[in-house]
Amino acid sequence: MFGKRPASWRNHAWETDHVQTSLLVDADGDLVRPWITWFIDTATKAITGTAVTPGHPSRAPVRAALRAAVVREEPYGPAGGVPETVRMDRGKDFLPAAVTTALDAMGVTVNDLPAYSPHPKEVVESLNRAADRMLFAALPGYTTGPRSERQGRTAGAVSALSFQDFTAEVLAWTNWWNTAAHRPKTLSGRRAVRRWRRGRPIRLLSPTSPPPTCGPTPSRTRAGPGS
């Protein structure tokens, strides 16, 4: 058991991580399992920046996701800004000079965490699990769980999304996540998938909040906006 962090405020602390998707995607004729790099605000649980790559991530998607998180003008924002602290693991792709120099220039404190210790960045780890159960499980080519066992890997691969369409789905889900008031706590498994595919968040932030989008968006395809 681990202690609970004290309440904080918007942009007080962010967490960042990579997650490899549990579905097969068609990237220029090759079936790959893409990676997502994202930043999340631990106080508001808003995803501030996202980048999607077909191969193993490097410092480039980290910088792309960081730029999407910091810049708040269109097509980015409104979530994001400049955090006080960023919690990340000690992977070589998170701590190269290109990334640490940019964070130092903004006055951001980097809290590099021990390897193989997910509990110090529990918010982004929860986001990874929610994405798997709510987004990846609803898409063709999913390779985990009973549905994939019935279909088989080959059957799931035949209907795999293109990498561009998958990126659009990730951005649409990110928009929905940032619109819903808080997402995975009361949803799990099949019910979570049904709610997402039908476009019904748990509740909206305000009566004037726009409804979530469940289809592909015409915005960026490689590094997405923060909301």
pLDDT at position 101 over 50: yes
Q: How confident is the model at residue 197 (pLDDT cuts 50, 70, 90)?
A: low
- Identity of the residue numbered 204: L
Residue 4 placed within a domain? no
Residue 8 placed within a domain? no
Q: How confident is the model at residue 37 (pLDDT cuts 50, 70, 90)?
A: very high
Residue 91 placed within a domain? yes
Domain with 122 in it: what CATH number?
3.30.420.10
The number of domains in the chain is 1
Residue 3 placed within a domain? no
Q: What is the mean pLDDT of residues 204-216?
A: 34
What domain range includes position 195? 13-224
Mean pLDDT, the chain, integer: 74
Q: Is the overall model pTM greater than 0.85, yes or no?
A: no
DSSP state for residue 56 in the 8-state scheme: -
Residue 1 placed within a domain? no
Residue 37 placed within a domain? yes
